[in-house]
Copies of this chain bind each other. A is one copy, B any other.
């Protein structure tokens, strides 16, 4: 039985190759996590188990896809970043996004019982994630994207921390707390936390204030060496790395340890000391030091 009669339908598939020499950010978000966090009784304002699980799944994604340069996570979202020179899956958008979403989901579900020891999953209410890809042409745009997410993390966490203190320890209703916080600035919230609850926001855990950065660890470099190579990185990019070279780079990257840190990624220092992230060229393994 020949299949040629129906095969014409393949012509309806449309290409979705992302523009060469652009940074690719694949951002995934928990689907309906507001409801889900109620169902599984996530702690407020932050559930450490949930964040650790997100981070553990993200680490597995980076291990699985050596082409990933860095990832940043906060709350139920995670941004995975491919370098402008990345040629994985010929840069097909749907392929890149679904591979990350599926791999992340698989590990999240598999690892759930390790982090939520006493809270088993209740099918059919399983956690799931959606995602999409965005291109950023200049390294500055990528840096600004990362800064945007980390500033958002800060703004949301300060709000949530204050709100839930007012509700959980201050005994206010959700509506009253919401009402009082309307129009307040950071200083106001800091003051509420300190005056009413004796909390110095600066002493809150970094994972809540800064979110989580996941990347491959090599020997840190001196702050000065970075910017030069950074500026160079994209100008060099000609999408002309051979398949063999790509495979070689992947092998090199697999050797590096994937780490999770809760540090500032807005200032230059983080990027200058880890020039391999923006340059796309693996650094020296710590063991080689």
Q: What separation, in Å, do the CA atoms of A11 and B21 have in the docked complex? A: 10
Query: Which of A44-52, A103-111, A211-219 makes up part of the contact surface?
Result: A103-111
Q: What separation, in Å, do the CA atoms of A60 and B122 have in the docked complex? A: 13
Q: Which of B98, B110, B235 contacts A139 (CB 8 A)?
A: B235
Q: Which residues of B contact A126 (CB under 8 A)?
A: 103, 106-107, 110
A20-B28 in contact (CB<8A):
no
* CB proximity to B under 8 Å, residues A87-115: 92-95, 97-99, 101-103, 105-110
* CB proximity to B under 8 Å, residues A1-32: 1, 3, 5-17, 19-22, 28, 31
A71 to chain B, nearest CB (A): 16
A252 within 8 A of B: no
A50 to chain B, nearest CB (A): 16
A220 to chain B, nearest CB (A): 24
Q: How large is the interface on A (under 10, 10 to 19, 20 to 34, 35 or more residues)?
A: 35 or more
Which B residue sits closest to A237, measured CB to CB?
A: B138
Q: What separation, in Å, do the CA atoms of A131 and B145 have in the docked complex? A: 26
Residues of A at the B interface (CB closer than 8 Å) are 1, 3, 5-17, 19-22, 28, 31, 60, 63-64, 84, 92-95, 97-99, 101-103, 105-110, 121, 123-124, 126-141, 144-145, 147-148, 151-152, 154-155, 186, 231, 234-240
Give 24 pairs: A residue, B residue, CB < 8 Å, sorted on A.
Answer: A1-B186, A5-B144, A8-B144, A9-B145, A12-B20, A14-B135, A15-B17, A19-B22, A19-B137, A20-B137, A21-B137, A21-B141, A22-B137, A31-B103, A97-B97, A98-B132, A99-B130, A101-B102, A101-B105, A102-B105, A106-B126, A138-B138, A138-B237, A140-B234
